[in-house]
Chains A and B, each alone.
Chain A
């Protein structure tokens, strides 16, 4: 393990950029719903990391980035309801053959996106970091500085809420 790598070396700093920029930008996107703003704030976080590079220990650099990003975001005002859109890999793969859940792909996607946008900011962020960025519960917990247990609870709550809203959608269709 490289325990004494310096964040101040350009090569190492670049590595941190390549390694975490997507997760960090997405994290901010889940909070604010604006990709450009998210990237801007993510870059701002890296600027702070560079300024403090001599004080930040290599192993804690990722945590530092997320903490700074969170603080920068605190300054932004409205983020209660956001509009999030996602790309879908292969829209043809529609396996909802069960008649109970017949919903055409696009409609279902739009409904889920809408419901996710309405979730409380924290639950939404946790859910998407795990589902979209494939961060393990432990990674999410570390990035947000909360317990794994709290991550699990939030995920369960989100899944139940989303389930409730698709049930509702079904009810109207029948």
Chain B
């Protein structure tokens, strides 16, 4: 028999790929008996199946809810049969649209990206653990969005377009730009056109041009240049930073992987970091950030890491 380790032998026996006799040759008789005992016990276990009828009804309810918040959904995709129902729904959503100040809200979880089409044809790509909302009613007059986390915008030409993020705002006229604010770290990168950034309700607005970025760590403002034509995280494989505050980088890691991070007091979060981290594996990503700065990390709990 080829060289196989115990784990694989057990697995193959469990799947019936090798017989009891072969198993005993490799392992012991007692092991076989013990394994049989466990397997035959678990064999008798089950979990009550989902009540499909009820479950489907609950799911449908949820889908109907999302639909009200969601963008335009092609007619062919509707659950509701009958044109009358469809017309009624359109009438209702028309009322919702124009007669209330209901917000359209989009949320993403860790590891998720969402592309949102706005009513004027502009798009917003929402990065992980972020949310975006706007009032459809006043949209045609005033294009204004509220953002938490990070998003990349490609703005169609038209009236002013404002992104509010906590007490700061970014105003543009037809352009491509990225905004991120996690904790106190604000970053705005402009890829095309120009944008005006007003930080924390201040009186002055900083203008940044294509290929420029601005970063604010809660007290200091730094300007820098960017060579990319769009943010790297858009492709979903990695996130890149240039001269960003370390604290900002760790906030992005937290958002991407849904982890929590604790810092040793000696870790200086205002240090600058240039580099990137991958989205495929949390530990690799941590290493990519920690190694160049001679920091270490360790796992302190299921989704908790310590940096020291």
Contact = CB atoms under 8 A, between A and B. Distances in A.
Interface of A: 8, 10, 14, 17-18, 21-22, 25-26, 29, 35, 39, 42-44, 46-47, 50-51, 53-54, 71-72, 74-75, 77-80, 86-91, 93, 95-96, 98, 100-101, 108-109, 112, 121, 130-132, 136-137, 149, 151-157, 159-160, 162-163, 166-167
A79 B302 contact: yes
Nearest to B302: A80
B228 to A, nearest CB: 25
A29 B47 contact: yes
A17 B34 contact: no
A77 B44 contact: no
Given A8-B77, A17-B59, A74-B109, A131 B48 contact: no
Interface residues on B, range: 35 or more
Nearest to A42: B50
B7 A71 contact: no
Interface of B: 5-12, 14-15, 31, 33-35, 37-50, 52, 55-56, 58-59, 62-63, 66, 70, 76-77, 79, 109-112, 257-258, 301-303
- Nearest 10 interchain pairs by C-beta: A156-B7, A152-B11, A86-B45, A156-B10, A74-B258, A155-B11, A163-B34, A71-B111, A89-B44, A153-B7
Contacts of B44: 88-91, 93
A34 to B, nearest CB: 12
Contacts of B62: 43-44, 47
Nearest to A109: B41
A156 B38 CA distance: 13
A50 B146 CA distance: 26
Given A43-B55, A88-B45, A131-B43, A71 B110 contact: yes
22 contacts: A47-B62, A71-B112, A72-B109, A87-B45, A93-B44, A96-B37, A101-B33, A101-B37, A112-B42, A130-B14, A131-B42, A131-B45, A152-B7, A153-B5, A154-B7, A156-B5, A156-B6, A156-B7, A156-B8, A163-B38, A166-B34, A166-B38
Contacts of A89: 44-46
A159 B37 contact: no
Nearest to A162: B38
B294 to A, nearest CB: 29
A25 to B, nearest CB: 5
Query: Interface centre among B39, B45, B257, B301, by most A CB within 10 Å?
Result: B45
